[in-house]
Amino acid sequence: MQPDAFFRRRRLQSALFFIAMAAITYGGMVLTQFDLVQGLSVIPRAFMWGITNFVPDERAWARLPRILEKLQETVLVAVASSTIASIFGLGLALLGANTTRPHPWFSLPARAIASIFRNIDVSVWALILLFSFGQSGFTGFFALFFVTFGFITRVMVETIDEVGIEPVEALRATGAGYTAIISQSVIPACLPQLISWVLYMIETNIRSATLVGILTGTGIGFLFDLYFKNFSYGSASLVVLATVAVVLLIETVSNYIRRTIL
């Protein structure tokens, strides 16, 4: 094929693709009766409404101590669930990873358990656990615990297998027992990644804790829900701002820790 013909075909393909996209977009707008002009013109007004209503007012600032108290509770639940779940997750990962499993039969069940816990969303866990624990901090704790447990198991299985069988083989050759091999070679080799993932889960869990709180009526999520439904938009936005501030703070700290250990 001549270069000219090749590029002509290329241009034609691009043009056809663009026309198809435009047609689909226009078709969609007609079907949903979306008026582009009105949609765009309403944006400034929406912003104005948001700014006037969601700026924390005096009443909101007066509620700050209560907000911070609930936020602290939420952060602690997130940290506790992440760290405890990670210990259990690491245990299951050791049973499931190819290099450290006590027997080949352990692998599949361990991975399956991890998969089940991880693939059920945190909000679903919260709603299920609501039946068992009611509206308490435990519900949120266990919802975050289960998801973290599944996630950490999954990533640690991969990390352990990535670190490789070589040091494990060397320690087996010295006559070291199973527990010594795990604690002297596998864990030291995986520790930075483990810490990094635990920090990641703490960040994620603080964000998820807000949603879980809305569902289970606890912590910072409960407060947001309460203010929002009472039309105290200023207070609700202060809750959001405070949460964002805490998440940013924790991210900064964990990035610092990551840089130091890796």
Partner 1 sequence: MSLLELDQVTKRYGAETLALDTITFSVQPGEFVAIIGPSGAGKSTLLRSINRLIDITSGDIRFDGVSVPQLRGQALRRHRTQIGMIFQHYNLVNRLSVIENVLHGRLGYKNTLQGILGLYSEEEKREAVRILETLGLSEQMYKRCDQLSGGQKQRVGIARALVQQPKMLLCDEPIASLDPSSAKVIMDTLQEINRSTGITVLVNLHQVDVALHYAERIIGVNRGRVIYDGPPHALSNAQIYQIYGSEAGELILDLKERYAA
Q: Which residue in 45, 132, 173, 260 binds partner 1 (CB under 8 A)? A: 173
Q: Which residue in 191, 244, 245, 248 binds partner 1 (CB under 8 A)? A: 191
Binding span for partner 1 by CB under 8 A among 27-35, 86-94, 175-183, 230-238: 175-183
Structure tokens, 206:
């603080």
Q: Can residue 179 be called a binding residue for partner 1 (CB under 8 A)?
A: yes
Give CA angle at 164 (163, 167), nearest 5°. 95
> Could you tell me if 234 and 53 are in contact, meaning their C-beta atoms sit under 8 angstroms apart?
yes
Beta-carbon contacts of 241 under 8 Å, excluding residues fewer than 6 positions away, are 56
Question: If you ran DSSP here, which 8-state letter would residue 105 be given?
Answer: G
In the complex, minimum distance from the CB of residue 188 to partner 1, in angstroms, rounded to a whole number: 5
Q: Which residue in 14, 83, 184, 230 binds partner 1 (CB under 8 A)? A: 184
Q: Which residue in 57, 124, 127, 172 binds partner 1 (CB under 8 A)? A: 172
Beta-carbon contacts of 95 under 8 Å, excluding residues fewer than 6 positions away, are 101, 102, 106, 110
Q: Can residue 121 be called a binding residue for partner 1 (CB under 8 A)?
A: no
In the complex, minimum distance from the CB of residue 183 to partner 1, in angstroms, rounded to a whole number: 5
> Could you tell me if 181 and 172 are in contact, meaning their C-beta atoms sit under 8 angstroms apart?
yes
Structure tokens, 151:
């996630």
Alpha-carbon torsion, ordered 18, 21, 26, 27, to 10 deg: 140
In the complex, minimum distance from the CB of residue 164 to partner 1, in angstroms, rounded to a whole number: 9
Question: If you ran DSSP here, which 8-state letter would residue 231 be given?
Answer: T
22-61: buried (b, 16+ CB within 10 Å) or exposed (e) per residue?
Answer: eeeeeeeeeeeeeeeeeeeeeeeeeeeeeeeebebeeebe
Site track 132-171 with partner 1 (rule: CB under 8 A), x = hit: ----------------------------------xx-xxx
Q: Which residue in 135, 183, 230, 255 binds partner 1 (CB under 8 A)? A: 183
Q: Can residue 42 be called a binding residue for partner 1 (CB under 8 A)?
A: no
Q: Cβ closer to partner 1: 44 or 177?
A: 177
Q: Cβ closer to partner 1: 25 or 183?
A: 183
In the complex, minimum distance from the CB of residue 99 to partner 1, in angstroms, rounded to a whole number: 12
Q: Cβ closer to partner 1: 143 or 190?
A: 190
Which stretches of the chain bind partner 1, using CB under 8 A? 166-167, 169-177, 179-181, 183-185, 188-189, 191-192
